[in-house]
Amino acid sequence: MARFLGLAAGVLAVGGLASPAQAQSAAGFSEFYIPGETQQMWNIFENLDNDPNLVEASGMHNVTAVTATLDNTTIYYDHWEDGYDFDPANPAATADESYVLNSGGVREFESSNIPVSPRGTATFYDGRDRIYVAGGPVAVTGAHWPESIGTVFSLAWEIYPTKPFLTNYTIPVGQNLAGAPTNYIDFTRTYVIVQSTADGTNVQIDDPPTGVDVNVTLNRGEVTQLYSIDAGTTVSASAPVQVQFIVGQFVSGGASHIDGYSVVPDSLCPKVIDAIQQSAYTGRIGDGKLFVFQVLEAVRIRTGERGEDAI
């Protein structure tokens, strides 16, 4: 089962995404698909909180940032609107855009007023675009918000390369946790979004109380989603896919919030736990504890103790 991971100091235990080690590409080549198709994200923001009214005519705002760790790292950008025509065997001739970064260099790809309802095919920097990197590890992040309200109602996440994508994921939280006895009100609204990285990929989303709610076939870069999910919702695909979940709390007349997380494939969870423990270890009191949600396991980083012994 994929799990909700959190690094804890003392009693703090929150989280829900892969470790940074999983997020960075190995030296050489890596490929990224930008999650959060514009219309998809607009619909989720509007569903979560449309008071004050989000202005559809203003559209969406999207920022994707790439940070290099080595000199002479080349970023190739491939817009989805004209088809995925980038060819790694002939990068200079086929990339829509290319940039060279040195260590610590950052390239931002930002668009404002991206149309919704319909999105159309005009070229913007937004979800479904593809980034190909040559030369070294990079960190890629993305942010989305409705243009009319600005960053007071926005979400951001780290974007992972396609290499660790797999076919089975489990969403560890859901709106059923918002009520008694857990009362985790941060999960009042919970959504899962899925993006394909290969043509002809069958995707099924199964919310346990209702069975298979989504059964679709997607081509490369295409997306699907399910609203109002419960903890334990699973995603199964015939080829590797990218999965994120979005949670939020609606506050009528107040400040609602929204958060986004990238999901660890089921089979990678033990490796993520080990990576976090190794990277956080100092051997001193205060290293913290690692909780695995739904609280199935806990790890004391300093000693390696697991389970009840770690608590």
Query: DSSP labels for 63-109?
Result: EEEEEESSTTEEEEEE-STT-----TTSHHHH-SEEEEE-TT-EEEE
Residues of the chain with CATH 2.60.120: 23-164, 165-262
pLDDT surpasses 50 at 221: yes
- Rounded distance between C-alpha atoms, residue 88 and residue 133, angstroms: 10
76-122 tens-digit pLDDT = 999 999 999 999 999 999 999 999 999 999 999 999 999 999 999 99
DSSP state of 32: E
Looking only at the bridges linking them, the beta strands covering 106-114 and 155-159 are unpaired
What is the number of residues in the chain? Answer: 311
CA torsion angle for 39, 42, 48, 52 (degrees, to 10)? Answer: -150
**Torsion sign over Cα 78, 81, 82, 83:** positive
The pLDDT score that the predictor gives to residue 287 is: 83
Section 146-157 average pLDDT: 95
pLDDT, residue 293, reads 60
Question: Measured between alpha carbons, how far is residue 250 from residues 51, 78, 107 in Å?
Answer: 10, 36, 34
**Mean pLDDT calculated for residue range 248-254:** 85
**Mean pLDDT for the stretch of residues 218-231:** 97
DSSP 123-184: --S-TT-EEEEESS-EEEEEEEEETTTGGGS-EEEEE--STT-EEEEE----GGGSSTTT--
Confidence of residue 6 (pLDDT cuts 50, 70, 90): very low
**pLDDT class for 12, splitting at 50, 70, 90?**
very low
Q: What share of the chain is helix, strand, coil (3-state, %, to 5)?
A: 15, 40, 45
Q: How confident is the model at residue 279 (pLDDT cuts 50, 70, 90)?
A: confident
- The reported pLDDT for the residue numbered 297 is 59
Q: What is the predicted pLDDT for the residue at 308?
A: 53
Please state, in angstroms and rounded to a whole number, the distance separating the CA atoms of residues 35 and 223. 8
Contact 31, 41 (CB under 8 A): no
Average pLDDT over residues 188-214: 96
What is the model's pLDDT at position 2?
32
Distance of CA 277 to the CA centre of its chain: 22
Query: Which is nearest to 117 in space by CA: 192, 34, 41?
Result: 41
- The residue with greater pLDDT, 14 or 296, is 296
pLDDT at 288: 82
At 302, the amino acid letter reads R
pLDDT at 23: 42
Confidence of residue 227 (pLDDT cuts 50, 70, 90): very high
Residue 5 confidence (pLDDT): 38
Q: Which fold has domain 165-262?
A: Jelly Rolls (2.60.120)
* ω into 52 cis (within 30 of 0): yes
Q: Render pLDDT for 253-274 as a digit per residue (tens, 0 to 9).
A: 778 889 999 998 988 888 888 8
Interval 239-248 mean pLDDT: 97
Among 105-114, 146-155, 233-242, 276-285, the range scoring the smallest mean pLDDT is 276-285
Q: What is the pLDDT of residues 36-92, one digit of tens each?
A: 999 999 999 999 999 889 999 999 999 999 999 999 999 999 999 999 999 999 999
CATH number of 23-164: 2.60.120
Task: Supply the DSSP symbol for 306.
Answer: B
**What DSSP letter does each residue of 221-261 carry, written as one string?**
T-EEEEES--TT-EEEEEEEEEEEEEEEE--TTS--EEEEE
Q: Distance between CA 302 and CA 279 in Å, rounded? A: 11
pTM: 0.83
Phi-psi region of 228 (alpha: psi -120 to 50; beta: other; left: phi over 0): left
